[in-house]
């Protein structure tokens, strides 16, 4: 059995904490032993990163960009290797894992443009003989705490931008699928990144809390559940750090009567069940205009039943298992609660078994009609292959349902009306909106983030906001007076320093 540990100062490093098993979700078998870090490991990691940041941030922007370009090429070459690692520990299909890597690659390519991204401003002759100019400098050591559902993509949403801006980056990946982080560490080293600039620190809450308050960690990025995002934001902010903490979601897909129902159903099924529903941008609620609800449910139920659940390495699989036995139990419990609270289970994924993998953590696609906002399955983030159907009278009620929800991460509308789409995108209190696009994750040169209980802190992740988050501005006001000229001291503000 393999042992998974930290990556500190450019090499695999054993830790001082306890061991924890890593499972293959498709079989339920233990496939590795993970070393969980302790506070001493945090001290070692931060010290290494701080020493590296001092020199990395002083390198020319061109040299930093060259490292990013090399990392990009290595990441492309390692796509299949990474996909296999992700599928083995997470359970998602190989195709889905490759797609995750491709979306992370977009951010690497964005970060390759760091010479353009870090350009400052210059104002000549702002006052007589005075020039003013500005630029952005790295923060030093920054940390990223990432979730299990995207063990490659989410670290790539953070690290390339932070590193390109001149920081040293400490990654604390999920304990459930930690191996991908070490593949990324190896690729950074092969790209020529100096030791200590990219660190992997395996751990649990002890490691997280130590990073949140460490005086040498300047900023923390987090993606995960809302309760933990709230804790990360409150703790790190109190310690004087910059924080971007992205929390949970309850994403709605509105289907109006004028929509192409077949097309909308294809999008809803893919967005609700893809990756076994384990993504914060999954459309887990279909908000359907009453006049077409029965017809749409008939189409959805046929597509749900045709969706193939299997192991991630099965080329015919549409989705794999959920991450743990506990997750399976929780998801099935929420389906049962919907039934008990009066909703109708149209397609039931409870008790799903894949032949030959009876110990796997599988949940089949589930479709629930008649869901109301007070139902438990609606109020909680299911994070599984479950699609709720909420019936509404029209667009106004659909917007009201969405805006009453405490989350504000992503949403979508399916319609052929430009007027309805414009009313919707202006009216919903949600950070990311799709119009006939089911999962509106912005491309890398924009930024990702929600509203309300889906985001704590002011900064969205990656893109222009990511550059601003990982740097701070400096402004210089400069004057070179003639040596023979002196006007004596001035004791008041003036619009021109020579007046």
Summarize pLDDT for 457-495 with one digit per residue, the tens: 989 999 999 999 999 999 999 999 887 666 677 777 665
Q: Over the stretch 23-35, which tens digit does the pLDDT of each residue have?
A: 999 999 999 999 9
Indicate whether 326 pLDDT > 70: yes
Q: What pLDDT, on a 0 to 100 scale, did the predictor assign at position 499?
A: 40
pLDDT digits (tens, 9 = 90+) for 81-115: 999 999 999 999 999 999 999 999 999 999 999 99
Secondary structure (H, E, C), the chain: CEEECEEECCEEECCCCCEEEEECCCCCCEEEEEECCCHHHHHHHHHHHHHHHHHHCCCCHHHHHHHHHHHHHHHHHCHHHHHHHHHHHHCCCHHHHHHHHHHHHHHHHHHCCHHHHCCCCEEEEEECCEEEEEEEEECCEEEEECCCCCCCHHHHHHHHHHHHCCCEEEEECCCCCCHHHHHHHHHHHHCCCCCCCEEECCCCHHHHHHHHHCCCCCEEEEECCHHHHHHHHHHHHHCCCEEEEECCCCEEEEECCCCCHHHHHHHHHHHHHHHHHCCCCCEEEEEEEHHHHHHHHHHHHHHHHHCCECCCCCCCCCECCCCCHHHHHHHHHHHHHHHHCCCEEEECCCCCCCCCCCCCCCCCCEEEECCCCCCHHHHCCCCCCEEEEEEECCHHHHHHHHHHCCEECEEEEECCCHHHHHHHHHHCCCCEEEECCCCCCCCCCCCECCEECCEECCCCECHHHHHHHCEEEEEEEEECCCCCCCCCCCCCCCCCCCC
* Separation between Cα atoms, residue 29 and residue 440, nearest integer Å: 35
Q: What is the chain's mean pLDDT, rounded?
A: 95
For residue 280, indicate whether it is catalytic.
yes
Could you read off the pLDDT of 107-152 as tens digits, one per residue?
Answer: 999 999 999 999 999 999 999 999 999 999 999 999 999 999 999 9
Span 195-224, average pLDDT: 97
Q: Per-residue pLDDT tens for 336-359?
A: 999 999 999 999 999 999 999 999
Instruction: Determine how β-strand 410-414 pairs with β-strand 251-255.
Output: parallel
Q: Catalytic: which of 145, 183, 280, 444?
A: 280
For the chain, the structural domain boundaries read 2-247+454-475, 251-435
Q: Which of 65, 104, 64 is nearest to 194 (CA)?
A: 64
Q: Percentage of the chain with pLDDT > 70?
A: 98
Question: For 251-435, which CATH class?
Answer: alpha beta
Say yes or no: do domains 2-247+454-475 and 251-435 share a fold: no
Q: Which of 189, 140, 143, 196 is nearest to 9 (CA)?
A: 196
Fold of 2-247+454-475: Aldehyde Dehydrogenase; Chain A, domain 1 (3.40.605)
């Amino acid at each position: 059995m393999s042992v998974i540990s930290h990556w500190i100062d450019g090499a695999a490093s054993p830790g001082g904490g306890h061991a924890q098993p890593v499972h293959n979700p498709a079989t339920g078998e233990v496939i590795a032993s993970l070393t969980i870090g302790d506070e001493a490991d945090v001290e070692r990691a931060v010290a290494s990163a701080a020493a590296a940041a001092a020199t990395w941030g002083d390198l020319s922007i061109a040299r930093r960009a060259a490292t990013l370009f090399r990392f990009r090429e290595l990441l492309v070459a390692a796509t299949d290797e990474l996909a296999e690692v992700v599928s083995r520990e997470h359970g998602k299909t190989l195709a889905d894992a490759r797609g995750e890597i491709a979306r992370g690659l977009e951010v690497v390519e964005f970060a390759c443009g760091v010479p353009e991204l870090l350009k400052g401003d210059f104002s000549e002759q702002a006052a007589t003989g005075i020039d003013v100019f500005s630029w952005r400098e790295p923060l030093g050591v920054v940390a990223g705490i990432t979730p299990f559902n995207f063990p490659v993509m989410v670290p790539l949403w953070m690290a390339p931008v932070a590193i390109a801006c001149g920081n040293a980056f400490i990654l604390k990946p999920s304990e459930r699928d930690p191996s991908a982080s070490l593949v990324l560490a190896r690729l950074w080293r092969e790209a020529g990144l100096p030791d200590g600039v990219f660190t992997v620190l395996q751990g649990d809450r002890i490691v997280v809390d130590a990073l949140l308050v460490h005086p040498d960690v300047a900023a923390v990025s987090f993606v995960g559940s809302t309760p933990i995002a709230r804790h990360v934001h409150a703790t790190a902010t109190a310690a004087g750090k910059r924080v971007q903490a992205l929390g949970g979601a309850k994403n709605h897909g509105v289907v109006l009567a004028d929509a192409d129902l077949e097309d909308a159903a294809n999008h809803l099924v893919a967005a609700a069940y893809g990756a076994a529903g384990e993504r914060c941008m999954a459309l887990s609620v279909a908000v359907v205009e009453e006049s077409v609800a029965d017809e749409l449910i008939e189409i959805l139920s046929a597509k749900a039943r045709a969706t193939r659940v299997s192991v991630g390495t099965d080329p015919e699989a549409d989705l794999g298992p959920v991450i743990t036995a506990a997750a399976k139990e929780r998801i099935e419990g929420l389906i049962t609660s919907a039934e008990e609270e009066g909703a109708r289970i149209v397609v039931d994924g409870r008790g799903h078994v894949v032949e030959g993998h009876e110990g796997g953590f599988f949940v089949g696609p589930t479709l629930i009609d008649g869901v109301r906002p007070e139902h438990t399955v609606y109020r909680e983030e299911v994070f599984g292959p479950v699609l709720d159907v909420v019936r509404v009278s029209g667009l106004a009620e659909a917007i009201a349902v969405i805006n009453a929800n405490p989350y504000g991460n992503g949403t979508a509308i399916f319609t052929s009306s430009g007027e309805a789409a414009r009313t919707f995108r202006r009216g919903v209190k949600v950070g990311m909106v799709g119009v006939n696009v089911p999962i509106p994750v912005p491309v890398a040169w924009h930024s990702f983030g929600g509203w309300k209980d889906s985001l704590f802190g002011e900064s969205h992740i990656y893109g222009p906001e990511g550059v601003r988050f990982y740097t701070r501005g400096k402004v210089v006001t400069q004057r070179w007076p003639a040596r023979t000229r002196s006007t004596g001291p001035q004791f008041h503000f003036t619009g021109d320093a020579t007046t």
